[in-house]
Amino acid sequence: MSDKNLVKLTKPIETHGGVINSLEFVEPSGKDYFELGEPTEWQVTKGGDPLHFVRESVVAAYVDRCVRPKSAAEHLSQLSLKDSRAARKVILGFFREPATEAGG
């Protein structure tokens, strides 16, 4: 697992099984992608300018599916704002990688 996929928590998560001090995120699977779609979207404003925005509910779904240890998923509501933003950054990073020739 790459360090870029690791979030060291500023506020540990307390679970019935102990304390979680860091979260790892695995790359979304093809199934995840086809079920959830892109976490960002382009739209055109009334003035004709492109606007790129993040679909936060989709990012949250990817966080839930890709977090490790998997048991942490049921405790994500305990994440601090800073840790939530770090998890968001990791997930969005998976979609900023250059597309393969087959993927366009």
Asked if the structure places residue 22 within a domain, the reply is: yes
Alpha helix locations (H) across 1-104?
30-36, 56-66, 81-94
What residues make up the domain containing 41? 3-94
Question: Does the residue 103 lie in any domain?
Answer: no
Overall number of domains in the chain: 1
CA quadruple 81, 50, 32, 23: dihedral, nearest 10: -20
What pLDDT sits at residue 4? Answer: 85
Q: Which residues pair with 6 in a beta bridge?
A: 24
Evaluate whether residue 99 is within a structural domain: no
List per-residue pLDDT tens for the chain, 104 residues long: 568 899 999 999 998 889 999 999 999 999 999 999 999 999 999 999 999 999 999 999 999 999 999 989 999 999 999 999 999 999 999 998 665 655 55
Is position 101 within any domain? no
